[in-house]
Amino acid sequence: AKHQGLKTYTILLMVVFYLLRFGHIHFIPIDTPLDIQCDPEPLAFEAAACDPEWLAYALAGFLETFGCPGLMQDLVVSIRQETAPTKQQKQWEAHALAVEDPFEPLINTSEHLRSEDWSRIQAVMQSALRGLQEGTPLPGLTSAQRPTQRLELR
C-alpha cells in the first residue's frame, strides 16, 4: 500500500465511519466494555437476505462521501467520537486523507498516501459512482438470482 493505495484497515475504518455518520449503525464509545462470547455454532448467513438495492445505495453514498473532492477535505475519519475532528485539530493538514486509528489516536493510518495517489483513488471512486448512477450492474450485488447454497461464516 505504500505510496499507492489504501490499507485494508484504513478502508474498513472509512466504511465504519460512513455507516456511523449516516445512521446505518449506532455509535458505541470505543472504551465501552462489551460482553462478547463466542458462539460454538457457526453463524449461518443467508446471502439472499441482503437487500441489493440498499447495498447499492450504501455503496453509492460511500463513493460520493470519499470520492468527491472537498467533502472530506478538512475532516478526519474517526470512529472514536460522535463528531469528526478536523485535520487542523489533529494537526494533520498536510495529509491528503486523514484516518485516525481508534486504538492509537495519534496515528493517521493513511499518512503514507500522497496527494496524487489519493486523487487517483478518488477518480476511480467517482467512476464507480457514475456507473452506479447509470445503472451499471454490479456482479454479485445486484443480480436477481438468489444463491443456491447458504454461506457459513466462522
- For 86-139, write each residue's pLDDT tens digit: 999 999 999 999 999 998 999 999 999 999 999 999 999 998 898 888 887 666
* Residues of the chain above pLDDT 90, percent: 45
User: H or E stretch including 152?
Assistant: strand 151-153
pLDDT reported for residue 27: 78
| Residue with grid cell 486509528, as numbered in its chain | 101
For the segment 60-77, the average pLDDT, to the nearest whole number, is 92
For the segment 67-87, the average pLDDT, to the nearest whole number, is 91
What kind of fold does domain 8-31+48-134 have according to CATH? Poly(a)-polymerase, middle domain (1.10.1410)
pLDDT reported for residue 93: 95
Residue 53 CA neighbour count, 13 Å, CB half: 0
Cell numbers standing for residue 17:
465511519
Residue partners of 1: CB distance under 8 A and separation at least 6: 7, 112
Q: Give how far the C-alpha of residue 83 lies from the chain's centroid of Cα atoms, to the nearest Å.
A: 16
For the segment 20-35, the average pLDDT, to the nearest whole number, is 77
| Residue with grid cell 454490479, as numbered in its chain | 138
